[in-house]
Amino acid sequence: MVKTAQAWGWSPSAILRNAQDPREHHPADYALAHAVQVLTEEKCPSCGVPIWYAYSEDSAVGFTEDLHICYSCKHADDQGKDRKPRPGERYTVRAVPAEGHEELPGRSDFYAAKLRKAALKAAREKEKQTAVA
């Protein structure tokens, strides 16, 4: 919300307060804007991890990586194998229903699937801990 308000040139709290003048600042707006700036600037510019972890030499801080696959980018990369785009051209991707499907699943379907996956992972971890104990 704060980033949106900043992009629109509005006061962040004006959105919440439904203010008559969206540019009228509330004292809390300065704290909100500062917090967003700090959170944005206090990240490693390469990986985005907060600097208090990324630059820490504390042995209690460890790291792991997750592989995220964007299937639309993968599709665009695969399309480029047939013909490289000329200068000024680029492949773009849009989602369409896969063969055999009438429509695309919605946003809520995506998050429901992620929630089910996380719940299964948590259950497996709990089983491992129970087995070890």
With respect to residue 65, please indicate whether it lies within any of the assigned structural domains.
Answer: no
The tally of domains found in the chain comes to 2
With respect to residue 64, please indicate whether it lies within any of the assigned structural domains.
Answer: no
Query: Would you state the structure tokens that stand for residue 94, as one six-digit string?
Result: 């849009």
- Same-domain status, 46 and 79: no
- Same-domain status, 31 and 82: no
Structural domain boundaries enclosing 79 = 71-132
30: three-class secondary structure by DSSP? helix
CA–CA dist 106, 75 (Å, integer): 20
With respect to residue 81, please indicate whether it lies within any of the assigned structural domains.
Answer: yes
- Same-domain status, 75 and 128: yes
- Same-domain status, 48 and 79: no
CA–CA dist 93, 77 (Å, integer): 10
Per-residue pLDDT of 1-37, as tens digits, reads 777 877 888 888 887 777 778 777 788 888 888 888 8
pLDDT attached to residue 80: 62
Mean pLDDT over residues 99-105, rounded? 88
* Residue type (1 letter), 66: D
With respect to residue 63, please indicate whether it lies within any of the assigned structural domains.
Answer: no
Residue 42, C-beta contacts closer than 8 angstroms, at least 6 positions apart: 50, 51, 52
Number of H helices, E strands in the chain: 6, 0
Per-residue pLDDT of 57-72, as tens digits, reads 888 888 888 788 888 8
With respect to residue 124, please indicate whether it lies within any of the assigned structural domains.
Answer: yes
pLDDT attached to residue 116: 94
- Same-domain status, 50 and 75: no
pLDDT attached to residue 122: 93
Q: pTM of the prediction?
A: 0.46
pLDDT-based confidence at residue 81 (cuts at 50, 70, 90): low
* Residue type (1 letter), 21: D
Max mean pLDDT range (38-47, 82-91, 123-132): 123-132
CA–CA dist 11, 91 (Å, integer): 38
With respect to residue 113, please indicate whether it lies within any of the assigned structural domains.
Answer: yes
